Structure 1
Amino acid sequence: MFGADADEVFELFDEDDEDAPVIVPTVSYKRKDPTNGHSGPSGSAEKKARASGGDNQDPADTYTPVIADDVAQEVQHQFSVRDSGFGEGAATAQPAGSSAPAETNGAPPASDSANDGADGKQNLVISHQVRHQVALPPGYPYIPISQHVEPEEPARTYPFTLDPFQRTAIHSIQREESVLVAAHTSAGKTVVAEYAIAHSLKRKQRVIYTSPIKALSNQKYRELLQEFGDVGLMTGDVTINPGAGCLVMTTEIFRSMLYRGSEVIREVAWVVFDEVHYMRDKARGVVWEETMILVPDKVHFAFLSATIPNAMQFAEWICKLHKQPCHVVYTDFRPTPLQHYLFPAGGDGIHLAVDEKSVFREDNFQKAISQLGSGEGSRGARGGRGGRGGRGDGRGRGRGRGGKGGADNSTAGPSDLYKIIKMIMSKNYHPVIVFSFSKRECEGNALILSKLDLTSPEEKSMVDVIFKNAVSLLSEDDRSLPQIEHLLPLLRRGIGIHHSGLLPILKEVIEILFQEGLLKVLFATETFSIGLNMPAKTVVFTAVRKWDGKESRWLGGGEYIQMSGRAGRRGLDDRGIVILMIDEKMEPDVAKSMLKGVADPLNSAFHLTYSMILNLLRIEGISPEYILERSFIQFQACARIPELERELHIHESRLEQLVIPREDQVQEYYQIRQQLDQYNQDVRDVLNHPQYALPFLQAGRLVRIRMKAPEDEPEKEYDFGWGMMTTFTKVVPKQKGNDLTAMPEAPKIVIDTLLHCAPGTEVGAKFPKPCPPDVEKGEFLVVPCALEAVDGLSTIRMHLEKLDLTGHEARAQLGRKVREIKKRFPDGVPLLDPVEDMKITDAGFKKMISRIETLETKLFAHPLHTDPELSSLVESFEIKLRLSGKVKEAKRQIQLTESVVQLDELKCRRRVLRRLGYTTSADVIEMKGRVACEISAGDELLLTEMIFNGAFNELSVDQTVSLLSCFTFGEMTEAVPRMRDELAVPLRIMQESARRIAKVSQESKLTIDEEEYIASFRPDLMDVTYAWCQGAKFSQICKMTDIFEGSIIRSMRRLEELLRQLVAAAKSIGNTDLENKFAEGINKIKRDIVFAGSLYL
Structure 2
Amino acid sequence: MVGEQRFPAPGPAYAEFEAAFPFALDPYQRDGCAVVEAGAGVLVAAPTGAGKTVVGEFAVFLALRQGKRCFYTTPIKALSNQKYHDLVERFGTHRVGLLTGDTSINGDADVVVMTTEVLRNMIYAGSSALRNLGFVVMDEVHYLADRFRGAVWEEVIIGLAPSVQLVSLSATVSNAEEFGDWLGEVRGDVRVVLSERRPVPLFQHVMAGRRLYDLFSDEAPTASALPVKGDVNPELVKLAKSDAKYVRDDSRTRRGRRTRDRIERNQAGRGDRGPNLVPRRDGAVEKLEAEGLLPAIYFIFSRVGCDAAVGQLLHSGLRLTTPDERARLEAIADAVASGLSPEDLDALEFGTFREGLRRGIAAHHAGMLPAFKEAVEQGFVEGLVKVVFATETLALGINMPARSVVLEKLVKYNGEAHVDITPGEYTQLTGRAGRRGIDVEGHAVVLWQRDIDPRQVAGLASRRTYPLRSSFSPTYNMAVNLVGRVGPERARGLLEQSFAQYQTDKSVVGVARAVARNTDRIAALWRDAACEAGDFEAYARGRAEIKRLENESAKSRRTDRRAEAISALLELVPGDIIGVPAGRHEGWAVVVDPGKRDRGNPTPTVMTEQRQLKKLSLTDFPSPPAVAGRMRVPKHFDPRQAKDRRNLSAAFHSKLAGIDTRASRYVPAAMDAEVTEKIDALRAELKAHPVHGCPDREAHSRAAEKALRLERDTADLRRQVERRSNTIALRFDRICSVLRALGYLSGDGRRVTPAGAMLARIYSELDLVAAEAIRAGVFDELTAPEFAAVASSLTYESRGGEQKRPARMPNRSTEIAQSAIRHIWRDLSLMERDHKLDPSRDPDIGFAEATFAWASGEDLAGILAATDLTAGDFVRSMRMVIDLLGQLADAAGQGVVRATAREAIDMLRRGVVSAAYDEDD
Report the TM-score, using the length of structure 1 for normalisation.
0.58
1:1041 aligned residue: 867
CA distance in structure 1 between the partners assigned to 2:742 and 2:721 by the alignment: 33
The answer as to whether partners of 2:769 and 2:825 remain within 8 angstroms in 1 is: yes
Match of 1:330 among 175, 194, 204: 194
Match of 2:457 among 580, 591, 605: 591
CA distance in structure 2 between the partners assigned to 1:1003 and 1:981 by the alignment: 35
Moved more, 270-279 or 466-475: 466-475
Residue deviations 1:998-1033 (CA, integer Å, cap 9, x gap): 11111223233xxxx56x321111111111111112
The answer as to whether partners of 1:350 and 1:368 remain within 8 angstroms in 2 is: no
2:875 partner letter: I
Structure 2 residue 795 is the aligned partner of structure 1 residue 936: no
2:816 aligned residue: 985
Q: CA deviation at 1:155?
A: 4.2
Residue deviations 1:699-754 (CA, integer Å, cap 9, x gap): xxxxxxxxxxxxxxxxxxxxxxxxxxxxxxxxxxxxxxxxxxxxxxxxxxxxxxxx
Q: Secondary structure at the match of 1:480?
A: helix
CA distance in structure 1 between the partners assigned to 2:342 and 2:508 by the alignment: 65
**Structure index of larger Rg:** 2
2:131 aligned residue: 266
CA distance in structure 2 between the partners assigned to 1:413 and 1:268 by the alignment: 59
2:496 aligned residue: 629
The alpha-carbon distance between structure 1 residues 1076 and 145, as it changes in their structure 2 partners (threshold 3 A), is same
1:163 aligned residue: 26
Instruction: Give the structure with the larger helix fraction.
Output: 2
2:492 partner letter: E
1:962 partner letter: A
The alpha-carbon distance between structure 1 residues 933 and 621, as it changes in their structure 2 partners (threshold 3 A), is closer
Structure 2 residue 35 is the aligned partner of structure 1 residue 205: no
CA distance in structure 1 between the partners assigned to 2:32 and 2:359 by the alignment: 43
1:248 partner letter: V
Q: CA deviation at 1:447?
A: 1.8
2:773 aligned residue: 946
Q: CA deviation at 1:347?
A: 7.7
Residue deviations 1:59-114 (CA, integer Å, cap 9, x gap): xxxxxxxxxxx62xxxxxxxxxxxxxxxxxxxxxxxxxxxxxxxxxxxxxxxxxxx
Moved more, 192-201 or 1085-1094: 1085-1094
Structure 2 residue 378 is the aligned partner of structure 1 residue 509: no
1:287-326 residue pairs with structure 2 within 5 A? 287-323=152-188, 325-326=189-190
Match of 2:852 among 1003, 1020, 1026: 1026
CA distance in structure 2 between the partners assigned to 1:182 and 1:554 by the alignment: 26
1:145 aligned residue: 7
The alpha-carbon distance between structure 1 residues 897 and 555, as it changes in their structure 2 partners (threshold 3 A), is farther
1:400 aligned residue: none
The answer as to whether partners of 2:810 and 2:852 remain within 8 angstroms in 1 is: no
1:994 partner letter: W
The answer as to whether partners of 2:80 and 2:114 remain within 8 angstroms in 1 is: yes
The alpha-carbon distance between structure 1 residues 374 and 350, as it changes in their structure 2 partners (threshold 3 A), is farther
Structure 2 residue 911 is the aligned partner of structure 1 residue 1085: no
2:810 partner letter: R
1:904 partner letter: L
Q: CA deviation at 1:524?
A: 0.7
The alpha-carbon distance between structure 1 residues 155 and 432, as it changes in their structure 2 partners (threshold 3 A), is closer
Residue deviations 1:968-1018 (CA, integer Å, cap 9, x gap): 22232333225433333322222111111111111223233xxxx56x321
1:225 aligned residue: 88
1:765-914 residue pairs with structure 2 within 5 A? 898-914=724-740
CA distance in structure 2 between the partners assigned to 1:971 and 1:529 by the alignment: 24
Residue deviations 1:36-81 (CA, integer Å, cap 9, x gap): xxxxx5xxxxxxxxxxxxxxxxxxxxxxxxxxxx62xxxxxxxxxx
Structure 2 residue 337 is the aligned partner of structure 1 residue 471: yes
CA distance in structure 1 between the partners assigned to 2:768 and 2:788 by the alignment: 18
2:88 partner letter: L
Q: Secondary structure at the match of 2:215?
A: strand
Q: Secondary structure at the match of 2:293?
A: coil
Q: Secondary structure at the match of 1:1039?
A: helix
The answer as to whether partners of 2:162 and 2:187 remain within 8 angstroms in 1 is: yes
CA RMSD of aligned residues (A): 2.6
1:477-626 residue pairs with structure 2 within 5 A? 477-585=343-451, 590-621=456-487, 623-626=490-493
Q: CA deviation at 1:153?
A: 6.0
Moved more, 915-924 or 148-157: 148-157
Q: Secondary structure at the match of 2:204?
A: strand
Q: CA deviation at 1:148?
A: 5.3
The answer as to whether partners of 2:854 and 2:860 remain within 8 angstroms in 1 is: yes
CA distance in structure 1 between the partners assigned to 2:362 and 2:13 by the alignment: 47
CA distance in structure 2 between the partners assigned to 1:260 and 1:177 by the alignment: 26
1:366 aligned residue: 237
Structure 2 residue 137 is the aligned partner of structure 1 residue 278: no
Q: CA deviation at 1:368?
A: 4.4
CA distance in structure 2 between the partners assigned to 1:897 and 1:552 by the alignment: 41
Q: Secondary structure at the match of 1:334?
A: strand
Q: Secondary structure at the match of 1:967?
A: coil
The alpha-carbon distance between structure 1 residues 181 and 990, as it changes in their structure 2 partners (threshold 3 A), is same
The answer as to whether partners of 1:181 and 1:305 remain within 8 angstroms in 2 is: yes
Moved more, 908-917 or 581-590: 581-590
2:447 partner letter: M
CA distance in structure 1 between the partners assigned to 2:448 and 2:742 by the alignment: 54
1:432 partner letter: A
The answer as to whether partners of 1:962 and 1:1022 remain within 8 angstroms in 2 is: yes
CA distance in structure 2 between the partners assigned to 1:943 and 1:507 by the alignment: 32
The answer as to whether partners of 2:793 and 2:848 remain within 8 angstroms in 1 is: yes
1:207 partner letter: C
Match of 2:785 among 944, 954, 958: 958
Q: CA deviation at 1:589?
A: 5.8
1:900 partner letter: N
Match of 1:154 among 13, 16, 30: 16
Residue deviations 1:136-194 (CA, integer Å, cap 9, x gap): xxxxxxxx635555459634522211111111111112212211111111111122111
1:28-47 residue pairs with structure 2 within 5 A? none
Match of 1:186 among 28, 34, 49: 49
1:980 partner letter: P
Listed as ranges, the gaps of 5+ residues in structure 1 are 3-40, 42-69, 72-132, 134-143, 377-384, 387-410, 643-893
The alpha-carbon distance between structure 1 residues 551 and 515, as it changes in their structure 2 partners (threshold 3 A), is same
Q: CA deviation at 1:213?
A: 0.8
The answer as to whether partners of 2:348 and 2:871 remain within 8 angstroms in 1 is: no
1:501 partner letter: G
1:343 aligned residue: 207
The alpha-carbon distance between structure 1 residues 1094 and 181, as it changes in their structure 2 partners (threshold 3 A), is farther
Residue deviations 1:1026-1065 (CA, integer Å, cap 9, x gap): 1111111222322221011111101111111111111111
Aligned residues: 666
CA distance in structure 2 between the partners assigned to 1:312 and 1:545 by the alignment: 30
The answer as to whether partners of 2:770 and 2:794 remain within 8 angstroms in 1 is: no
1:1090 partner letter: V
Q: CA deviation at 1:315?
A: 2.1
Structure 2 residue 828 is the aligned partner of structure 1 residue 997: yes
Q: Secondary structure at the match of 1:578?
A: strand
2:714 aligned residue: none
CA distance in structure 1 between the partners assigned to 2:402 and 2:338 by the alignment: 29
1:919 aligned residue: 745
CA distance in structure 2 between the partners assigned to 1:937 and 1:268 by the alignment: 28
1:1035 partner letter: A
Listed as ranges, the gaps of 5+ residues in structure 2 are 223-227, 248-255, 258-274, 510-719
Q: Secondary structure at the match of 2:326?
A: helix
2:185 partner letter: K
CA distance in structure 1 between the partners assigned to 2:242 and 2:913 by the alignment: 49
2:885 aligned residue: 1059
Q: Secondary structure at the match of 1:611?
A: helix
CA distance in structure 2 between the partners assigned to 1:469 and 1:1005 by the alignment: 54
The alpha-carbon distance between structure 1 residues 981 and 329, as it changes in their structure 2 partners (threshold 3 A), is same
CA distance in structure 2 between the partners assigned to 1:326 and 1:619 by the alignment: 26
Moved more, 552-561 or 921-930: 921-930
Q: Secondary structure at the match of 1:338?
A: strand
The answer as to whether partners of 1:605 and 1:633 remain within 8 angstroms in 2 is: yes
CA distance in structure 1 between the partners assigned to 2:110 and 2:728 by the alignment: 39
The alpha-carbon distance between structure 1 residues 971 and 372, as it changes in their structure 2 partners (threshold 3 A), is farther
Structure 2 residue 117 is the aligned partner of structure 1 residue 252: yes
1:159 partner letter: P
Q: CA deviation at 1:356?
A: 0.3
CA distance in structure 1 between the partners assigned to 2:198 and 2:451 by the alignment: 30
Q: Secondary structure at the match of 2:119?
A: helix
